[in-house]
Each structure stands twice: as C-alpha cells, then as structure tokens.
Structure 1
Amino acid sequence: MNNEKPAILGFHYKVVVTQRFFDAQAIEHLRQHGCEVVIAELRQGQADADLSEPQLRALLDEADGWIVGHASVTASLLESLPRLKVIARRGVGYERVDTAAVKAAGKVATIAIGGNDASVADHTVALMLAVCRQLKQCQSGLAADDWTIPLGSDLYRKTVGVIGLGRIGQGVLRRLAGFDVKPLVCTPHPDATHANGIAPDCFVDLETLLRESDFVSLHAPLNPATNGLIDEHALKLMKPSAVLINTARGGLVRDAQLLRALQENQLAGAGLDVFESESDPALSRVTQQLIKLPNVVATPHVGASTVEGLSRTNLIAAQCVVAVLEGRSPPRHCVIADGRPTTDVEENL
C-alpha cells in the first residue's frame, strides 16, 4: 500500500502535536523542513492521556509524525495508522509506549533526552525546601490571617539519599552541593563514569539509604524492577523525621501506603509531583487525601514544565521527527525503538 501523499502548499509531511505549550521555535523548525503542523485542540485541563484510542486515531489518521505527551502508544493504535512513521515523546519517560509494537510496525519512537533535566532538578530542590520550611502551612495560615510561626527544619548539612543517578539525579546533587549535604546514592551503575565526582563511600544499597537519609529523592525510571519500590516495608525503614520527594514517576511509590505512613507520623512529610492515580484513576481518592495533608507539598506533574524546559524538549522532539521523516536517524540516545528495515543511515540533526 502506498501511503505517500503529494505536498500541499509546500508541505511534504503532516505532524500532529497532542501536547500543550508547543512553542513557535519548534513549529518553525518543522515547517522549515516541509512539515504541516497540526496542534490538537484539548479542553482546559485535558491531556492527551485523556483521549480515547478512537479519538487519537481520528487525530492521527493522516499524520506522518506524532509529538506525544502521556498518551498510550499501543499496538492496536499503531496498526490503525499505516502512514505514521515516527512517534516523538516530549519527555523522557516511556512506560506508556509499547516499544515492541513500534518495532513490529516498522516505526520509530524517540524521547527528548537532555531537554528537561535542569527543570526537574530545580523543582526537586524546591519541593525539599517547601516541605522542610513548611511553606504550605505558612501560606494557608497567612491566608486565614493567622501569623503563627511554624517551626521548620534545615536542608543544610542533611543527609540526602538519591535513588537513581541519571541526568536529573546528578543535577539534584550538583544543586545540593551548595547546601553542604551528605549525599547517599543507590544506583545499579555505581561506576567511575557514572559517579560524576561522588565519593565511592556515598554509594550504598537501598536499605542503607532509606535508614540513614533525612531526605529521600526518587529519580529512577519506572519499570518492573522499580514499580512499587517505595512500599510499606521501605517506608518503615525511613526515619520519622525524614521527607520523601518524588518527581520521577507515580508508580515508584505505593501512594496508599505513603498516605498511611504520613497519617501515622512515620514520616515528617513528602513533596510529590507525580502520583499513582495518573495511570490508575481508581487511586484518585488517595491522591486527594495526600494533597490535603498539611505536611505534603503537591504539584500536578509540573517538574519539567518551565518555558525554558519545554522549549528545549519541544525542539528535540521536532528534530527527531524531522530526522526520521527525512530518512536519517535521530541521536542514538533519543531512540527507544526503531523498526525500520535499514537503520544504517546518517545520524545528524
């Protein structure tokens, strides 16, 4: 079946974007390379993950490229879109992308490595400070004309455990160096190239990290090995004065068990940008209960959502799309699945 179509008004390809905040620079990059850009119209508060498969199919029916946020990329969806050649995630997590199905369908899937690392690292430190300085209580008190002074605690010279030492984890530790913290790191790759100047004795097993840390910050990918990593057992290992920070993926933490630990004063607090209910709506009530706790500072998965961070990831996604549509390969570190018959092509953006 021939899925090629003639150029319309100078455009050779159609690229559909199902994410908000897709900026002019990325759009211009696509247009300069012959791409018609279609931005999906989403309702206020709606994300592409809320779209049904028939809705996605209707949007993508004639698309050559798809720049996606959190929608599920399934085998059945891909089978219904023979024209589609490339799926580019504007982000780095890809647990909702069926990479085996992408390969089987002869398509390419990419992620935007390196675009939002700094933004998420900044947000992680912001949550640490917000929890330990009780900013939520301060704000709500002042709003009620209550000038009682909550007694916070320092981040300065505390022990901070980082689980996962990818780009974001490394960025968090660089930022925390100014607070003179003692770092502890749990990572499956504690080798010299990955250590980034961290002393060898800072690399510990998970149980040691949980027992000794004043702050535990999650930066691991979500996969079968890490799903539910922070469960009831892990939470009981932590200090009652400790704070849990999750800016990675909701599935890393069993939120109902975290809620119970906070309600029973097993932990001092939590800073949460992600929740299990993002992938399991049945847990929405747990999320709401967590958000209402005075010692929880919660944000709606905004760690990567800065003007600068989204501009970087938008452009990386656009560059990856263009590379595939022009018969080239995106940077190897951005490719999560490549099902093209021949991938021995130029790697150059």
Structure 2
Amino acid sequence: MLSNGKSVVVTPKFFDDAAIRYLEGHGCSVTLARLPDDKADAAATEAELISVLAQADAWIVGHANVTSSLLESLPRLKVIARRGVGYEKIDLDAAAKTGKVITIATGGNEESVADRTLALMLAAAHRLRESQQQLIDGPASILLGSDLYAKTVGIVGLGRIARNVIRRLKAFDTTILVNTPRPAFVYGESMNIEYVELETLLQRSDFVSIHAPLKPDTRHLINADRLALMKENAFLINTARGGLVDDQALLAALKAGDIAGAGLDVFESELDASLAEVTKEMVRRPNVVATPHSGASTHEGLQRTNMVAANCVASVLNGEMPSSKCLIAGPANCAG
C-alpha cells in the first residue's frame, strides 16, 4: 500500500462506496468533484476541470474532453482512468507527450450495453413508444409491430459488446450476419454466424446493430448511400458512438420511410453541437426510440466500471502496470 496518500479525483457521477473503499484501502484519498451547477464532466469547461484536478495524482473521468492544453496544465497528474471503454475524447498523442497513463474500464459495461441494444431492438420493432403515447393521449388503437424472433440481424463490428449481443440474439432464433475487418472464424463457426461485406449485411438484415469503434475511417460508416441499401421494414440500432451514423442522412431516411425505425443511444450532436437540432427532430419521431448515451448506466454496470477504473488507478499509483486489456496509453514502465 501507499504510505503518502495519493490524491484521486472522480468527476463522473454515481461513483459507489465500494470503489471508494477499494481506493482508500490502497492508500488513496478520494475526492468526488462537484462541478459548477452540478453539471456532468462532459459539459465542464477546461478551467473548471483544471480547478478540481490541480492537485490530483489520478483522475477517474466520465465523458470530458481531455485535450492537450488540459493535460499540459496538470503536471502532477499521472493517470487518467476512463469509466467506460470509448476514448475518442482523449488526446492520446498529448497523453504520451506529457507522460500520462490512460486506461479504460474493459469488461465493466458490456453486459449492460448489450441489454440496452436488445431493449432498443424490441422497443422499436414492437412500437412501444407509439403504443404508450396513444394510451396517454387516447383513444388507443392496436399498432402492429414486428417480431425479432427468427429475423436476420446484421452486426457491424465484433468486439466484446457485439459478442454479448450475439449471445443474446441466439435465444431469438435469429440469423446473424457480421461485418468486421477481423473475422474470427473459429468463433463464427461455433456461433453459426456468417461474415459478409457491409453492403450485403445492409441489404439482407431486418435489424442492423452498430458496434464499431469511432475512428477517422469509420466516421459516417452508415451514410445516405448505405441507408438506401436497407429494407423499408428494417430497423437501425446504434449503441456504439455518435458519428458512426450520418444523423442527417438517417433523419432523411426516417422521414422518407426508407427504413421502419431506429433505436438510438448515441448521436452525432454529442461531439458536434451544430447538429443538436437534428437530434431533437429525430428523437421526436414516433418510430425512434432514444436514450441519452446511457446504455452502460445501470446500477450493476456502473459498479463494475467504477471498480475497474479504481483498480487501474491503484495499480498505477502503486507503481504497477494496469491490466493490458485496460491500458491505452502510457510509458512501458508505469512505476512512479
């Protein structure tokens, strides 16, 4: 254990007592930062973040933008542990330049996001939003939905969340198509999935679920041309990252009736505020079921990701290497 009480600042909300006790048991002092107006760290200004992090040795972060100028302003900071798995908001080049260790909470939230993916599929296909609104407004009529059972589902990407989605889909007797740059053939054979090109997947699938990472070459992976390949009775599900789908093109496709509906937990406007009105118009549509990037936010999912982040922080501050599954950036030797 550490004897000099390393400072850990936590900026995301819902950080539980078990994770705090774990850090304290490993010689860390823990501060749950309260940002002005009780805002989330994604909405915090750089000055506000610097104010709460100035004396921190470690930062457990939610969705804040971790920029080069922010990292350069925090010379004491040794490790940034993302409570989640996406790290597109972190300047990894700047982290390497300033000697910061960056970790993600691998294995913490994949079950929760997989559950949300199935929930959005079912809610969109069964028209739950429209049915409830009819009951509220009255009079209600019976709206015919669509089954997930025995349908063809296209999975774009084959990471941990995608595999958990596939495992759940097997219970629905679905035919599963997968598009990935790195097919796993032994896995594919064991799960009876078919690897196909993206265009083929879009043409054949009744549901298309996105599980790819957001990188420069995957931005607008689903664009107007690819949306046009989908069936008119198909549903698009995105629980991965806003920006993988061209939301303006998706809105146009929904308005034109080119696809049946969408289930969305992520939006382009999260990274591009100029698209906020596109998001607002899209989520108002009756055939869209939407949640605010909260797929990982279950009691159990956050407890798991909190503990993974805490473990990464304690490892680095104790001069040890965090799990290789969690380490995104950092010197070869994390001892400090």
Normalising to structure 1: TM-score of the pair?
A: 0.93
1:133-192: per-residue Cα shift (whole Å, max 9, x none)?
Answer: 000011100011322011111101000000001111011011011110000000111123
State the secondary structure of the residue aligned to 1:245: strand
Residue 4 of structure 1: aligned partner: none
How many residues get paired?
A: 334
1:270-328: per-residue Cα shift (whole Å, max 9, x none)?
Answer: 00000000111110100000010000000111100000000000000000000000000
Q: Distance in 2 between matches of 1:161 and 1:29?
A: 40
> Is the CA contact (8 Å cut-off) linking 1:87 and 1:110 kept in structure 2?
yes
Residue 162 of structure 1: aligned partner: 155
Out of 294, 299, 321, the residue aligned to residue 329 of structure 1 is 321
- Give the 5 Å matches for 1:181-330: 181-192=174-185, 195=188, 197-199=190-192, 202-330=194-322
Q: Distance in 1 between matches of 2:217 and 2:156?
A: 13
Q: Distance in 2 between matches of 1:27 and 1:84?
A: 19
Q: Distance in 1 between matches of 2:256 and 2:241?
A: 24
Deviation at residue 12 of structure 1 after TM alignment: 1.2
Residue 173 of structure 1: aligned partner: 166
Q: Distance in 1 between matches of 2:163 and 2:127?
A: 26
AA in 2 matched with 1:162:
I
Q: Distance in 2 between matches of 1:172 and 1:329?
A: 31
Deviation at residue 44 of structure 1 after TM alignment: 6.8
RMSD: 1.5
Q: Which runs of 5+ in 2 are unaligned?
A: none
Deviation at residue 193 of structure 1 after TM alignment: 5.2
Residue 119 of structure 1: aligned partner: 112
Deviation at residue 198 of structure 1 after TM alignment: 3.0
Q: Distance in 1 between matches of 2:15 and 2:171?
A: 34
State the secondary structure of the residue aligned to 2:176: strand
State the secondary structure of the residue aligned to 1:100: helix
> Is the CA contact (8 Å cut-off) linking 2:113 and 2:296 kept in structure 1?
yes
State the secondary structure of the residue aligned to 2:191: coil
Deviation at residue 196 of structure 1 after TM alignment: 7.2
AA in 2 matched with 1:148:
S
Q: Distance in 2 between matches of 1:289 and 1:11?
A: 53
AA in 2 matched with 1:280:
D
AA in 1 matched with 2:65:
S
Q: Distance in 2 between matches of 1:281 and 1:193?
A: 43
AA in 2 matched with 1:187:
T
Q: Distance in 1 between matches of 2:51 and 2:294?
A: 28
State the secondary structure of the residue aligned to 1:237: coil
AA in 2 matched with 1:140:
Q
Q: 1:222 to 1:45 in 2, by over 3 A?
A: farther
AA in 2 matched with 1:332:
S
State the secondary structure of the residue aligned to 1:270: strand
305-314 vs 44-53, which moves further:
44-53
> Is the CA contact (8 Å cut-off) linking 1:207 and 1:237 kept in structure 2?
yes
1:4-62: per-residue Cα shift (whole Å, max 9, x none)?
Answer: xxx9xx76111111101000010111111111111111467732111111111111000
Q: 1:295 to 1:152 in 2, by over 3 A?
A: same
State the identity %. Answer: 56
Q: Distance in 2 between matches of 1:60 and 1:129?
A: 42
Out of 47, 59, 64, the residue aligned to residue 52 of structure 2 is 59
| 2:83 is the counterpart of 1:90 | yes
Q: Distance in 1 between matches of 2:136 and 2:146?
A: 22
Q: 1:266 to 1:44 in 2, by over 3 A?
A: farther
AA in 2 matched with 1:318:
A
Normalising to structure 2: TM-score of the pair?
A: 0.96
- Give the 5 Å matches for 1:13-24: 13-24=6-17
- Give the 5 Å matches for 1:20-31: 20-31=13-24
Deviation at residue 76 of structure 1 after TM alignment: 1.1
> Is the CA contact (8 Å cut-off) linking 2:35 and 2:48 kept in structure 1?
no
Residue 30 of structure 2: aligned partner: 37
> Is the CA contact (8 Å cut-off) linking 1:159 and 1:184 kept in structure 2?
yes
Q: 1:271 to 1:44 in 2, by over 3 A?
A: farther
